[in-house]
Structures are given as C-alpha cells and as structure tokens.
Structure 1
Amino acid sequence: MIVRAGLAATVAGVLLTGCGGPGAVLEPMSIPGGTETTPSTTPATTSPTAAAPVDYTPLLLAPGDVYVPGDGYSAPPPIRDPDGVHGAEELMTNGDQTRAIGITIVVLPDVATASAELTRAQQTLSTVVPTEPSQPVPVGTGAIAVTGLAHDSSKAVTALVFGEGRSIVRIDFYSAVGQPTPVDFAIGIGKMQALAVRVGLTGSG
C-alpha cells in the first residue's frame, strides 16, 4: 500500500520526507504555514470577489518524463495544496513497485520567504540516515543531495532539496537496500523539475 506524503502547515517550517509501499515510502513534508496573506474581512457589499486558488499540480513532472531503460513509472492523480499548503505533490512508482519517486513542491509568497525557508528544508534531510555526506548539486538554488537509508533501514533513499524562485522542491528516490539511486540520476530529474517550476510559476502568478 502506498501512503501519500502530507504537508503540515507549521510556522517552524520543517520538511520531513519519506513514502510507504513495496520498496518505497514517502513520509510527511512540513513547511511554513500562513505563507500567503489572507485579505482583511470587509462587509460583503464592498469586498471584491476572491480570486480562484491557483492549481500548482501542472508544475509536477509527469511519469513519462522519467526515462529508465526497460522500465516505466506511473502515478495516481497528484495532490493539490496538500494539508492546505500552497503547492502540489505526487508519488510515482515503477512497474514492479521496487522504485519510487516522491515530489513535493511548496509555493511561497515571494523569493525572499522561499530563500529563508530553504535553510530549514535543507536541515530536514536528516530524515535520511546518510551513508555518505550530503553534497551541493547544480539544481535550482541552494540544492543539496544525500544518499542513505530510511530510518527503519527498509529501503535506500536519495533525497534532493532545492529552491526555484518562490518555491521549495523536495524529491525523494526510493529503492532496494544496496541499490541507491545515483546522485547523477537525481540531478537530472531535479533539473527537469526545476525547469518545469520556473516556467510554470512565470505564468501562474
């Protein structure tokens, strides 16, 4: 059974990650709540019509974007604004569910806020028990990656977190113990996701 990731709206802005299923588990990801200003309450006769919430799910990569020779990924419909936090998330799994990729995008009010929260997001890579030191990687802004194990040692995890404009993105790659996802592969997926976010946010407002 796959357990979806959740976004808990907390001011502390802590990212926890993981995902559960055969060979893959995605845990909750927490990021700051109250990230968008709510208009002040005014009499119904004078307040403007509220703008429709933005759907950020189109920012996510599609399973077909992930190329692995001899294998393919699929995913259920992505989750819009999980736990009330602006953004989107999804969990892709390969054919025999021995590998999975969990992607969570959180969209903040502006670049300055995203930059401030990225440091907290980087610190939550401690949710992976590293088998080697974390390393900076060339994806988006301030990207770091770490390879290790889930805390229950049931699977290998390669985690990547980075900023892109006013968003924070976390991608987790799950696989069998002893068969971690190469960081180079994670970087390639990360670059595609960063481009999709950059282009998508430019047009989404």
Structure 2
Amino acid sequence: MCADVPQAITNISLPHPSLLPYALTPPPSKFSALEAPSISVPHPSPSISGTTRMLNRINRSKTVVENLVCNTRLLESTIQEARSKKDTLKARAQSAKTANKVSEMLGNVNTSNALSAFEKMEEKVLAMESQAEALGQLTTDDLEGKFALLEGSSVDDDLVNLKKELSGSSKLCLILPLEPPLGRTVTTSANKAYPYRDADIEMELNKLRQRAKDF
C-alpha cells in the first residue's frame, strides 16, 4: 500500500465529543407518543460509537486514496513503457523499410552486366597499352635503322661515287678539274687547288648535305 495520503483527509475536523449525542440524536417525530411504534432499539453510547464510525470512515478513505494513488502511478508507468515500446517498434519498422529498399535496389542491379562492362574496359585499356608499346618499338627500330644507315654509308662515300661518275665524262674532265665539296681541296701534280664551278655538281652536293641534316 502506498504511503502517500492526501493531506486533506488527515485534516478532517470532527465535532466535539460533547456535541456528538446531539448530532446523532434523530429529530423529533411528528407523531405523538401514543401513535409512535413501540419499537425499542438499543443505542450504544453516543460518544464512543460516533467517534469509532468516523475513524473507520477516515481509514477507509485513506485506503481508497492510497489505492488510487498507486493505481495512478502504475498507469503512468504503463503508459511510459508503452510509449518507449512504440518508439522502439517505430525505429525497427523504419530500419526494416530501409533494408527492404536496399535489397530491392541490389536486386535490380545486374552484376553480370557490370562485370562484363569492366572486362570490356580492361580489354580496351590493354589494347591501347599494346598499341602504344608497338608504336614505341617501331619508332625505336626506325631510329636505329636510320642511325645504322648513316653509319653504313657516309656522305664521303657518296661524294667519291659521284666523282667517279663525273670523271667518266671526258668532256667535263677536259674543261674543269674534279674538286671535292665545299671546304675541301684537290691537289694536282703541281700541288695547286682549283675551285669547282659546275652548278649541277653544287646542286647535287647541296642535296646530299640536306639529306645528311634530315638524318
């Protein structure tokens, strides 16, 4: 039983014991003594019986109030527990709904298509890398071939061959002596240098120099 009892019940004012007999005495009847029924009811002592009844009522009221307070507190606790359970169930429902949406999204995604797309992308990257490597190899081989060509046949050899061809022409030999390219001299029996003045030969030499620069 709860210990909290409203203060109002404990402050009930009782009549003075000396007034209890008058308070408990029934009002006079309108009938005379002759007409009144002759029923005798034993009356206990007014001062003792009235106080006892009042105290019993007070005790019963206290008990009722205590029960009400206990029931109210129990009801509040039950309501609070129900609210907590409601919030928990609401959170669980929201979590389940989110999990269902994620599952549906994952179910709609075709993993095989995604993997095939990645495989195709990887194949393209590998092809591009192979192409770049092949182009680099071809460029390296081409440069190596050009350097080898320059090392194998020099410009001086081309000039010597050209001189031989020119020396085969008796007409040119009679008119002008054969001279190497610009910057070189040819020595005759008399140890004299003659400039070479043929325009065609100079043109051929310029072409050879340009080819050497290109390489």
TM-score tier by shorter-chain length is: under 0.3
TM-score, length of structure 2 as denominator length? 0.19
User: Which structure has the higher relative contact order (CA within 8 Å, separation 6+)?
Assistant: 1
TM-score, length of structure 1 as denominator length? 0.19
Higher-Rg structure is: 2
Greater share of strand residues, 1 or 2? 1
